[in-house]
Amino acid sequence: MAGAGMSADVDSGAGVGAALRWSVERDLRLALRSRSELGVQLMFYVIVVTLFPLASTPERMLLATMGPGVLWVAALLASLLSLPRLFASDFADGTLEQIALSPFPMPALVFGKILAHWLTTGLPIVLLAPLLGIQYGLDGTALWIVTLSLLIGTPILSLLGAIGAALTLGVRGGGSLLALLILPLYVPILIFGAGSADAVRAGLSASANLSLLGAGLLIALVGAPLATAASVRIALD
């Protein structure tokens, strides 16, 4: 147990799996600790989606036209609203310091957190979208396409959002600054996402939009954890 015996417990390359497991498991456990958490996310989404027809004139044709857009904007806002919490509490209580000092590779730890965020905020939205879409009078294909586009798109929202959340850590103007930084990046996703369903409704193929979304997801999957980890380190300095 002396001197050289007390060496590294993890060799840095191999730790990716363990790192992922640690952060996903921990964040899911935290999210589920207050049993209402998941329900609240869903309720928020439902309420926002419900608000729109309330605020504009509820004509059936118009509703179906607005449908995909509203589902997407609501998803985007739900993501935006939950993002400030992604790192804030870990930052305030010092966990983020320990994450930066862990022998596990930091992008993997960060990616785990993002994954947990998506599982608790994005996935429920995707699952709920078909139901809400019916309320808007969307038909079979459009419904299916908008759900698929949300399934591909919402992870991008979480991934990009994480960068913004990390950049605005400990910075004044938090929530709104985050929105300002991230919304411009969200807009293309919104356009492709809502556009895919519009294309279908217009009798065209959604595949161009969806494959652009898919490409976006790939890029975000590779780039975002690295950028986020770098931003977190910057925030800790």
Partner 1 sequence: MNVYQFSSPATFYPFAGWLAPWFAWSAALLAIAGLWIGFAVAPTDFQQGEAYRIIFIHVPTAWMSMFIYLVMGFWSVLALAFNTRLSAMMAQSLVPTGALMTFIALWTGALWGRPTWGTYWAWDARMTSELILLFLYFGVMALRNAIDDPRRADRACAVLTIVGAVNIPIIYFSVQWWNTLHQGASVSLTAAPRMASIMLIGMLVMAFAAWFYTIAVSLWRVQAIILERERSASWISALPGLAGALR
Partner 2 sequence: MLEVLELAARRGDAVLFRRLGFRVEAGKMLVVTGPNGTGKTTLLRILAGLTLATAGRVLFRGEAVAPGSPKLRAECVFVGHLPALKDEFTAEENLSSLVELSGVRPTASQLRAVLSEVALDAQRALPARVLSQGQRRRIGLARLSLLRRPLWLLDEPATALDTTGLALLGQLIARQLAAGGAVVASTHQTLDLPPEHLEWLVLA
Rounded Cα distance between 187 and 45, Å, is: 19
223 is a contact residue toward a copy of itself (CB under 8 A): no
Q: Cβ(129)–Cβ(71) under 8 Å?
A: yes
Q: Which of 31, 53, 33, 51 is nearest to 43 (CA)?
A: 51
Give yes or no for a contact between 182 and 83, defined as CB atoms under 8 angstroms apart: yes
Per DSSP, helices labelled H in 102-206 are 106-117, 123-135, 140-167, 174-201
**Among residues 31 and 64, whose Cβ is nearest to partner 2?**
31
The distance of closest approach from Cβ of residue 27 to partner 1 in the complex, given in angstroms and rounded to an integer, is: 18
Q: Which does 185 bind (CB under 5 to 8 A by kind): a copy of itself, partner 2, partner 1, none?
A: partner 1
Binding segment for partner 1 (CB under 8 A), chosen from 75-83, 107-115, 120-128, 186-194, is 186-194
Q: How far is the CB of 151 from partner 1 (least distance, A)?
A: 21
Q: Residues interacting with partner 2, by CB under 8 A?
A: 1-3, 5-12, 15, 18, 22, 26, 29-30, 33-34, 89, 92-95, 97-105, 172, 233, 236-237
Q: Which stretch binds a copy of itself (CB under 8 A): 1-9, 96-104, 135-143, 180-188?
A: 180-188
Burial of 214 (0-12, 13-18, 19+ CB in 10 A): middle
Task: Provide the residue type at 174 as one letter.
Answer: G
Q: Could you tell me if residue 58 is left (phi over 0), alpha (psi between -120 and 50 degrees) or otherwise beta?
A: beta
Say whether residue 54 binds a copy of itself (CB under 8 A).
yes
Binding a copy of itself by CB under 8 A: which of 100, 191, 221, 230?
191
Q: Does 4 bind a copy of itself (CB under 8 A)?
A: no
Q: By C-beta, is 9 or 54 nearer to partner 2?
A: 9
Residue among 168, 194, 197, 200 that touches partner 1 (CB under 8 A): 168
Under 8 Å between Cβ of 215 and 156: no
Confirm or reject binding of residue 10 to a copy of itself (CB under 8 A): no
